[in-house]
């Protein structure tokens, strides 16, 4: 950049000096260019003086402008260094006034944006610290996010599945096709949509679980199962006793029940689920048996759903046992200490 500036200065100065000389010659008609080229001063040709003057003036101007440019460049580097070190752009008002130049406005914008981002980072850091030190707050945020996801799935995917199911049922009822093979394909598509709706309801149930709130575990489980019967075409049977447990353990056990039912609906394709909740010999036992397709235990050990159930049981001092046979169904039993009971071996 400085190279181009220097060449521009030379061009301007040379044009000015030689132009001034030409005008001076015009004012003295007797003087011609040949006279000027032949004239000397102290035995030195006049053109040499003009050329020397051009060079000297050019160097002086270049030095001055280069100094100005160097000062501005140094200020920019100082400003950027302060921004990177999270220091104020100006030390005081006097420095601010000395830097009063439109070309520095972009640095002020960068400084302002950096300050806004730093405030946002500090705010998020404080929020993260409060979440990490407050498990209740963390659970609240997780529940809020799960509810948001469930709401979006219900408002989009669930409604689209419902619309597709209605459209397909209408096509089937109107007998628009006389092709048996096509009718069979349409029937399969309808069954797939119905299964997808069933799995979506189970997923929504898992994402947005019903809280016990002021209910006992017995009341919550019965309310949950009754509500499930209204929503899902499945045969449910249960025996629920009024057990004695701490509130936080009841909440965890209730979540385990919900996750087990959700897994039976989504993966096992169960048509019936038997639920048992009893208290025996200082232990609370939750048992669910379905008639689904079953699964390979060794492969399922790595699945998120089964791991989550076992981890929840472990967190409340209990243990989860799973028995499953392909094509025969699955039995899941959760055993946790009752209030004042012994630990699970």
CA 275/CA 258 separation, integer angstroms: 11
User: Which of 302, 204, 312, 215 lies closest to 256, judged by CA?
Assistant: 312
Average pLDDT in the chain: 72
101 Cβ neighbours under 8 A, 6+ residues apart: 72
Q: What band does 285 get if pLDDT is binned at 50, 70 and 90?
A: very high
CB 234 within 8 A of CB 228: yes
Whole-number pLDDT of residue 173: 63
Whole-number pLDDT of residue 106: 64
pLDDT of 216 above 80: yes
Instruction: Tell me the two tokens of residue 112.
Output: 């302002």
Q: What band does 244 get if pLDDT is binned at 50, 70 and 90?
A: confident
For residues 218 and 16, which has the higher predicted lDDT (pLDDT)? 218
CA 25/CA 32 separation, integer angstroms: 7
Question: What mean pLDDT comes out for the span 26-41?
Answer: 56
Whether the model clears a pTM of 0.85, i.e. scores above it, the answer is: no
CB 329 within 8 A of CB 289: yes
pLDDT of 145 above 90: no
For residues 285 and 137, which has the higher predicted lDDT (pLDDT)? 285
For residues 41 and 54, which has the higher predicted lDDT (pLDDT)? 54
User: Which of 102, 76, 101 lies closest to 89, judged by CA?
Assistant: 76
Q: What band does 148 get if pLDDT is binned at 50, 70 and 90?
A: low
Q: What band does 241 get if pLDDT is binned at 50, 70 and 90?
A: very high
For residues 22 and 111, which has the higher predicted lDDT (pLDDT)? 111
Whole-number pLDDT of residue 77: 72
Instruction: Tell me the two tokens of residue 253.
Output: 């056990």
Q: Any idea which residue has 């705010």 for tokens?
A: 123
Whole-number pLDDT of residue 146: 64
For residues 322 and 136, which has the higher predicted lDDT (pLDDT)? 322
Q: What band does 284 get if pLDDT is binned at 50, 70 and 90?
A: very high
Q: Which of 108-122, 274-288, 304-318 has the highest mean pLDDT?
A: 274-288
Q: What band does 330 get if pLDDT is binned at 50, 70 and 90?
A: very high
Angle, CA 193 vertex, CA 190 and CA 197 arms, to 5°: 140
Whole-number pLDDT of residue 143: 64
What percentage of the chain exceeds 70 in pLDDT? 41
Whole-number pLDDT of residue 161: 63
For residues 244 and 80, which has the higher predicted lDDT (pLDDT)? 244
Torsion of CA 300, 224, 214, 314, to 10 degrees: -10
CA 103/CA 162 separation, integer angstroms: 61
pLDDT of 10 above 50: yes
Q: Any idea which residue has 């029937």 for tokens?
A: 187
Q: What band does 268 get if pLDDT is binned at 50, 70 and 90?
A: confident
Q: Which residues of 21-56 are buried (b: 16+ CB within 10 A; e: fewer)?
A: beeeeeeeeeeeeeebeeeeeeeeeebeebeeebee
Q: Which of 144-153, 156-165, 189-198 has the highest mean pLDDT?
A: 189-198
DSSP state of 225: H
Q: Which residues of 134-148 are buried (b: 16+ CB within 10 A; e: fewer)?
A: eeeeeeeeeeeeeee
pLDDT of 332 above 80: yes
Give start and end residues of each alpha helix (H) in the chain.
2-27, 33-38, 46-84, 93-98, 105-133, 135-153, 159-173, 180-207, 217-231, 247-263, 297-300, 304-315
Least confident of 25-34, 102-111, 135-144, 289-298: 25-34
β-sheet bridge partners, residue 329 = 325
Q: What band does 2 get if pLDDT is binned at 50, 70 and 90?
A: very low
Whole-number pLDDT of residue 307: 84
The length of the chain is: 345
């Amino acid at each position: 950049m400085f190279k181009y500036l220097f060449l521009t200065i030379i061009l301007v100065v040379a044009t000015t000096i030689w132009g001034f000389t030409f005008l001076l010659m015009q004012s003295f008609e007797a003087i011609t260019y040949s006279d000027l080229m032949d004239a000397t001063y102290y035995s030195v040709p006049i053109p040499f003086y003009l050329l020397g003057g051009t060079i000297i003036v050019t160097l002086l101007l270049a030095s001055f402008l280069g100094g100005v440019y160097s000062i501005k460049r140094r200020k920019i580097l100082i400003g950027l260094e302060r921004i990177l070190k999270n220091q104020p752009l100006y030390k005081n008002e006097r420095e601010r006034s000395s830097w009063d130049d439109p070309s520095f406005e972009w640095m002020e914008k960068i400084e302002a944006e950096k300050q806004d981002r730093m405030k946002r980072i500090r705010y998020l850091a404080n929020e993260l610290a409060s979440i990490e030190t407050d498990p209740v707050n963390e659970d609240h945020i997780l529940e809020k996010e799960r509810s948001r996801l469930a709401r979006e799935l219900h408002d989009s995917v669930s409604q689209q599945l419902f619309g597709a199911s209605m459209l397909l049922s209408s096509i089937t009822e109107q007998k628009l096709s006389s092709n048996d093979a096509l009718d069979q394909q349409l029937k399969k598509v309808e069954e797939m949509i119905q299964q997808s709706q069933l799995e979506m309801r189970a997923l929504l149930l898992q994402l947005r679980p019903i809280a016990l709130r002021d209910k006992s575990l017995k009341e919550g489980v019965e309310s949950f199962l009754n509500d499930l019967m209204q929503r899902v075409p499945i045969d449910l049977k249960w025996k629920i006793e009024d057990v004695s447990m701490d509130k936080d353990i009841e909440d965890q056990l209730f979540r385990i029940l919900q996750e087990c039912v959700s897994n039976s609906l989504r993966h096992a394709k169960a048509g019936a689920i038997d639920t048992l909740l009893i208290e025996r010999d200082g232990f609370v036992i939750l048992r669910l048996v379905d008639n689904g397709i079953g699964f390979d235990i060794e492969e399922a050990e790595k699945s998120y759903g089964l791991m989550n159930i076992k981890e929840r049981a472990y967190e409340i001092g209990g243990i989860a046992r799973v028995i499953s046979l392909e094509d025969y169904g699955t039995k899941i039993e959760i055993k946790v200490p009752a209030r004042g009971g012994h630990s699970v071996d």
